[in-house]
Amino acid sequence: LHDGDTVTVGNLTLDVIHCPGHTPGHVVFYHGPSRLAIVGDVLFQGSIGRTDFPRGNHQQLIDSITQKLWPLGNDVTFIPGHGPTSQFGHERKTNGYVSDYALS
């Protein structure tokens, strides 16, 4: 899968967003009408994905989150690979790794 592709699951069409950093080929699935992103291990409530795997890259992960996910909107709910769901806006305010304050 590549950035900009779509995947159809049942009656849903999901946008594919390439978000490297955790792993080089990591993708996020986004359903715009539901304002829902399935992000896997890119972002968690209060944390971000590990980057100590082979070819993981911390700066690339930060860039993926801030340049590809944040523009989707603060009201987007995301489902991480594990742990509770959250919203991008909440993480922009409170996440110690990628909040607007932490990155300023």
Q: Is residue 38 part of a domain?
A: yes
Q: Is residue 47 part of a domain?
A: yes
How many independent structural domains does the chain possess? 1
Q: Is residue 1 part of a domain?
A: no
Q: What is the reported pLDDT for 103?
A: 96
pLDDT digits (tens, 9 = 90+) for 76-100: 999 999 999 999 999 999 999 999 9
Q: What is the reported pLDDT for 46?
A: 98
pLDDT digits (tens, 9 = 90+) for 17-75: 999 999 999 999 999 999 999 999 999 999 999 999 899 999 999 999 999 999 999 99
Whole-structure pTM value:
0.95
Phi-psi region of 77 (alpha: psi -120 to 50; beta: other; left: phi over 0): beta
Range of the domain at 57: 6-103
Could you tell me the CATH number of the domain that includes residue 69? 3.60.15.10
Q: Is residue 58 part of a domain?
A: yes
Strands 47-48, 77-80: parallel, antiparallel or unpaired by DSSP?
Answer: unpaired
Q: Is residue 94 part of a domain?
A: yes
Terminal alpha carbon distance of the chain:
33
Q: Comparing C-alpha atoms, which of 27, 35, 22 is closest to residue 5?
A: 27
